[in-house]
Amino acid sequence: MDDLPILYADAHYLVLNKPAGLKVHAGPGGGPCVEDGLKSLSRRKDGPWLAHRLDADTAGCLLVALRKQALLAAQAAFAEGLVEKTYWAVVQGGPAAESGVIDAPLLKTSDATGWRMAVQPEGQAAVTEWCVLARGAGRSLLALTPRTGRTHQLRVHCAHQGFPMLGDALYGSKAGGLHLLARSLVLPGTNVSAQAPVPAHMRAALDGFALPD
């Protein structure tokens, strides 16, 4: 974890480029995680701290606070929906329109096989804006902007609309790893602005596509 690429750095924040498959927290199952290497990122006695989290299978921009005051400010910005986050996802098929909004509440459900999130009327409000960036070969590249921060929100919303993400073992096809990237992150009121490169497994799925910058 010590050699994770740094996409942005100043005296208060870092943005790391988290690879797909690396957990942010160890959790009950243990194993390597981003938290293991945080101490190596600062010489201060306290911190650093993760300002938010990404699913293990999601690659891209992960914000780290180097000072406690910076952490509290970032957490407040996330809670108020002020942080500008854009994700890229490769999906099977794709929507008929070029852009739109998915407004579908999400509820955590459990059965004998485990838990997952599902679109249910009694769930918590969940809103995702989307637009198509490119199409081809029976798949599409979408830009997704979550307006709420529910667990697995982007994955469930895409699957519910009929275009699941490639490699989504819970809500779609298992082959090739999850094709979801936290592409960019901007923290208002600071200079924090970062963009993550497209990882190799997503580039392979987008071979021949005319990709935006």
Angstrom distance (rounded) from CA 181 to CA 61: 8
SS (H, E, C) 55-73: CCCCEEEEEEECCHHHHHH
H or E segment at 174? Answer: none
Angstrom distance (rounded) from CA 148 to CA 101: 12
Residue 50 near residue 89 (C-beta atoms within 8 A): no
Residue 61 near residue 184 (C-beta atoms within 8 A): yes
> In 10 A of CB 81, how many CB atoms?
13
CA gyration radius, the chain:
17
∠ CA(176), CA(178), CA(183), 5° rounding?
Answer: 125
Angstrom distance (rounded) from CA 14 to CA 61: 10
Token couple for 109: 């459900």
Angstrom distance (rounded) from CA 75 to CA 149: 12
Active site residues: 55
